[in-house]
Structure 1
């Protein structure tokens, strides 16, 4: 089942909290350099050129037909979609978010339209018989007739829907680039009226308001120089569409130069260690669009603008490889879908551009579900030729190696076994509780066995109006209750950058990795004198992961910790649990220094974006209040012989 793209359309937490979605900046952006605009205008083509291979270039399309599985998959999907009705949207669908906070109904239908358009255009390009043109025209007519391309969740006052404002959000930018790409590929096959309508609507909804902001004639939107994924996504969509549809080279150059300059704060949102605090899902979405913009500007300017050469871009490009715990497994920290993997098409491009030397997967990967509705992504990824792609000298950064990855600024550790086919893998984190798309999760961790997450960070909850307002952390998936972290004196962790972790100690050797975090600052409990969480990873033998919580209070208080899993839990003897999922098992030995403790299982009712799996929270609580203590959890593969354990 295809996961809809609408899952990722959300503003960064900080921006939403301060000003909603479309707050305007107090002052305008800096004027563009007229010299730079003139310079770029000279290297742009005389006529607009978009991404994608025109359908008349049969040699190029015939080459695509020979791509492994590509033509077969696209045509199969197109023939299946022909049998399904195109979705209809209504005013009631759009207003549903304003009434009850539900995003899924309207966004799912609108996403489906764009997905159908993308598949049908590609299928027509491959087949070239006119069979899919009626379906293409149907989807284009519906999209062009939508009262606004702004999503309901980004139009809380319904001003865009009613036409009293014309703003540019993520969906608008992606939509206009989709339409521009369809026009580039199909050209006159669309008919003069449809092509004219695409240009009219692109001017009205996107180019006119964007140029007004660039020229200082209107206040710029908050995202224009932000560090969130919006920056990359909107700049990519607007600039890509302008290059395809705007006649004047000078005007096109304005879009290009503004994007070249104002995309830089997006990279500045990543720490120098390359970690993506918005998580892997948003790396796919935000940095994936950065890659698409980089490719588009390289093509349009004949290599004059190279976003791959920007500071931090090389390290950020390696984030998924550095985050990977065991082959194909990644922790779902923050608003990340648990099953999320990096976009293979993006890794293919980055591997070639930076000459990383990564082992390739599929020679020609299909778009993942996030990008399937985006025709421009298909156009760029299918046209990409790794053999002519190097824009950077070979080499790989020192911050990633086979056994341990340490992101020092972000306080994230990934520890792997010597043999990826055997043993457990660990990912754990500190940081702070004010990160964009972050959760209240100081000290959270995930343990993997093979391809299964045995103990997990549950990742993103289903988005609603409450996800990005003051009610966000009432959700048990988003607050610390739904994470494998302590509850201290009955209190959960607090939100905000001041509530974070401090590195107390970290060591790594060939055999072991250790990280000790002071997580007391994540809570607001006056009685806390000390609260340390220690992670010990041992890659000798069959591997083990040990989590030790050491605490001290000024007066007797309650203390508990938790494990979170999708698996089934069974107590095999007092203090020893097994967790089983997907044919894999781990054993968890619990010790509390002689203090009495009890465990209980609870199903968290909040729904996940990743699907219907139930989140099981395993509480391990001391039975009596105390002024000091320690809880130790030692995790081993269940198939291993259990050695005596002395905490």
Structure 2
């Protein structure tokens, strides 16, 4: 396929990224399907379609799972299980103003897909026809459901009213879930119902995708093809997976493989060349977890002849979860992630069986038995590409890498203590830019972990509201904008969004005793008189460890300057320039100073619908033209 570059204007808030309307350079733009490539792919395919796992009729495989005992609790819970119904009230709750977010309608929609998966798992495990009729009823109900699309994505309710159909996160989930049910249930699904399901897949999913290439434009409902975020891989995995599971025509299946092979490059482009995921660990699991599904679908359909893991960037991306971990299994809540977020266990197991990046501790990860999904959970429970061989052995990173990881191209540094020492404090220091997907205007932000507690730093995300992805309103939320983050307030100005607001690395110095890095973050602030704003972090591994941040600034005329501590720890001021943070069993001393200047302290409780946290502002007592504010965090002795 040709690989050329065009500029596409995309309303990123529609795709759920939370960025402003902007022009993007799309590495893999919309173009006609390459039929030469399709013919090459056809030669790799079997005559019949197939999905993940085996149909229920392979009793040896399903009885093995049944006898494992891992599903006993699930099966005991299923006789009284009721498939969730479709609620028109929930679907329209956002548009009618009865809810502040689309969560109610989206949850209802996805619970129905989960219900079909659970019933399918139960019947395939037991094979007693106890759930067969209920699966048939559920399938007919879902096929007739007016919309497979999330209420947020059903613009003008065209899906609900049957005017046009959108391929997005939820509709692609429905497509693949229905396809897997048809495949796993085999002859237990009546022929007429199979035809109705296939017709619905064509009308709602396959045809709308193919129409995109006929018109040679990326219609908004199929913008996932050129998205450079989690939408790309999530939608492609559902569409391609459904096609490979249900379509009899080898040529049709080959076309969808060609689509997945080509356009998934856009999703990979959204990751840093160093493997960094700007969307954070939750969306890493979601987005890249679906890249795994897409890869596995294509790998199985072509007998391993087409492998999306051969892209050398993939191995760097696969190492992201291990590299971004701070210490003791704690990860930063960067972008739209909550405190306590961790990468998905099955995604991690798949990646570490594939590549073995990071520390040896990840080698013990096992597959988690799940039944709320009949795609990833089935794929992991049955033989797959990992069963045949370890194709990408990779290497265990040396001890020196364990004490730090530097995403050099992105400007994100993770610092950890030396093994076997008394230090038990780690930090993530974030550079990057303010046009990243799910961005929070957070250049220069950080997360400090002591023991297994986040003592201070990035507060994470608040619950999604109706306008949280609207560029006009997104950064009016303090937690999404820079105000709620531990970054400066410059001449009363918060950080601005956009790719022009980006960090520049001035210097780095890494040793076994100390790591230090200086970022120029001045471009993040729309302050004409700002001549300089450098933030330096020094991480000291000696003794019990410490982290020091120094903000050095300069204006053309006297202005105010403030920096902040964001924390969910209990805190108190113990002296004029000292705070004590307490969380769980951990205590941390914070000292602050500004040579030659007096500092003022003020605090504000912020919740915005999420878990409350405190912003402690540390400001100059009067405007000045140049100066420094220094803050040091260290465990209490």
Query: What is the CA distance between 1:261 and its match in structure 2?
Result: 1.5
Counterparts in 2 of 1:73 and 1:614: CA distance versus 1, 3 Å:
farther
Question: 1:399-410 maps to which residues of 2 (within 5 A)?
Answer: 401-410=401-410
Query: What is the CA distance between 1:260 and its match in structure 2?
Result: 1.0
Cα shift readout 1:610-642 (whole Å, capped 9, x = no counterpart): xxx21221111222222222221111112x2xx
- Work out the CA distance in 2 between the residues paired with 1:216 and 1:300: 29
Q: Is the 8 A contact 1:553 1:627 kept in 2?
A: yes
- Work out the CA distance in 1 between the residues paired with 2:246 and 2:509: 55
Pick the aligned partner of 1:514 from 496, 513, 516: 516
Q: Secondary structure at the match of 1:43?
A: coil
Q: Quote the residue 2:602 is aligned against.
A: 600
Q: Quote the residue 1:195 is aligned against.
A: 194
Cα shift readout 1:135-190 (whole Å, capped 9, x = no counterpart): 43444343223211111111232122211112211111111001111111112223
Q: Quote the residue 1:319 is aligned against.
A: 320
Q: Quote the residue 1:92 is aligned against.
A: 89
Query: What is the CA distance between 1:325 and its match in structure 2?
Result: 0.8
Q: Is the 8 A contact 1:174 1:374 kept in 2?
A: no
Superposition RMSD on alpha carbons, in Å? 2.5
Q: Quote the residue 2:21 is aligned against.
A: 17
Query: What is the CA distance between 1:379 and its match in structure 2?
Result: 1.1
Query: What is the CA distance between 1:89 and its match in structure 2?
Result: 3.2
Cα shift readout 1:347-373 (whole Å, capped 9, x = no counterpart): 211222224474334422245xxxx64
Q: Is the 8 A contact 1:89 1:106 kept in 2?
A: no
Counterparts in 2 of 1:336 and 1:77: CA distance versus 1, 3 Å:
farther
Cα shift readout 1:205-243 (whole Å, capped 9, x = no counterpart): 111222333455775532213322111111111111111
Q: Quote the residue 1:568 is aligned against.
A: 570
Q: Secondary structure at the match of 2:51?
A: coil
Q: Is the 8 A contact 2:29 2:226 kept in 1?
A: no
Question: 1:152-551 maps to which residues of 2 (within 5 A)?
Answer: 152-215=151-214, 221-356=222-357, 358-359=360-361, 360-366=363-369, 373-384=372-383, 386-395=386-395, 401-419=401-419, 422-469=423-470, 470-551=472-553
- Work out the CA distance in 2 between the residues paired with 1:399 and 1:232: 33
Q: Is the 8 A contact 1:331 1:338 kept in 2?
A: yes
Q: Quote the residue 1:5 is aligned against.
A: none
- Work out the CA distance in 2 between the residues paired with 1:310 and 1:576: 50
- Work out the CA distance in 2 between the residues paired with 1:28 and 1:408: 28
Counterparts in 2 of 1:468 and 1:455: CA distance versus 1, 3 Å:
same
Q: Is the 8 A contact 2:601 2:617 kept in 1?
A: yes
Q: Secondary structure at the match of 2:283?
A: helix
Counterparts in 2 of 1:138 and 1:451: CA distance versus 1, 3 Å:
farther
The unaligned stretches of length 5 or more in structure 2 are: 1-12
Counterparts in 2 of 1:215 and 1:380: CA distance versus 1, 3 Å:
farther
- Work out the CA distance in 2 between the residues paired with 1:262 and 1:364: 29
Cα shift readout 1:263-297 (whole Å, capped 9, x = no counterpart): 11221222211111122121111111001111111
Pick the aligned partner of 1:617 from 611, 615, 618: 615
Q: Is the 8 A contact 1:586 1:636 kept in 2?
A: yes
- Work out the CA distance in 2 between the residues paired with 1:499 and 1:363: 41
Query: What is the CA distance between 1:504 and its match in structure 2?
Result: 1.6
Q: TM-score, normalised by structure 2?
A: 0.91
Q: Is the 8 A contact 1:507 1:513 kept in 2?
A: yes
Query: What is the CA distance between 1:600 and its match in structure 2?
Result: 2.6
Q: Quote the residue 2:122 is aligned against.
A: 123
- Work out the CA distance in 1 between the residues paired with 2:332 and 2:236: 29
Counterparts in 2 of 1:555 and 1:219: CA distance versus 1, 3 Å:
closer
Q: Is the 8 A contact 1:422 1:450 kept in 2?
A: no
Range with greater deviation from structure 2 (153-162 or 416-425): 416-425
Q: Secondary structure at the match of 2:94?
A: helix
- Work out the CA distance in 2 between the residues paired with 1:412 and 1:58: 50
Counterparts in 2 of 1:88 and 1:62: CA distance versus 1, 3 Å:
closer
Query: What is the CA distance between 1:56 and its match in structure 2?
Result: 1.2
Q: Quote the residue 1:644 is aligned against.
A: none
Asked if residue 554 in structure 1 is aligned to residue 528 in structure 2, the reply is no
- Work out the CA distance in 1 between the residues paired with 2:335 and 2:383: 32
Q: Is the 8 A contact 2:461 2:480 kept in 1?
A: yes
- Work out the CA distance in 2 between the residues paired with 1:400 and 1:242: 46
Q: Quote the residue 2:10 is aligned against.
A: none
- Work out the CA distance in 1 between the residues paired with 2:48 and 2:400: 44
Q: TM-score, normalised by structure 1?
A: 0.89
Q: Is the 8 A contact 1:351 1:358 kept in 2?
A: no
- Work out the CA distance in 2 between the residues paired with 1:233 and 1:514: 38
Query: What is the CA distance between 1:94 and its match in structure 2?
Result: 2.0
Query: What is the CA distance between 1:547 and its match in structure 2?
Result: 1.0
Query: What is the CA distance between 1:396 and its match in structure 2?
Result: 5.3
- Work out the CA distance in 1 between the residues paired with 2:242 and 2:399: 37
Q: Is the 8 A contact 2:451 2:586 kept in 1?
A: yes
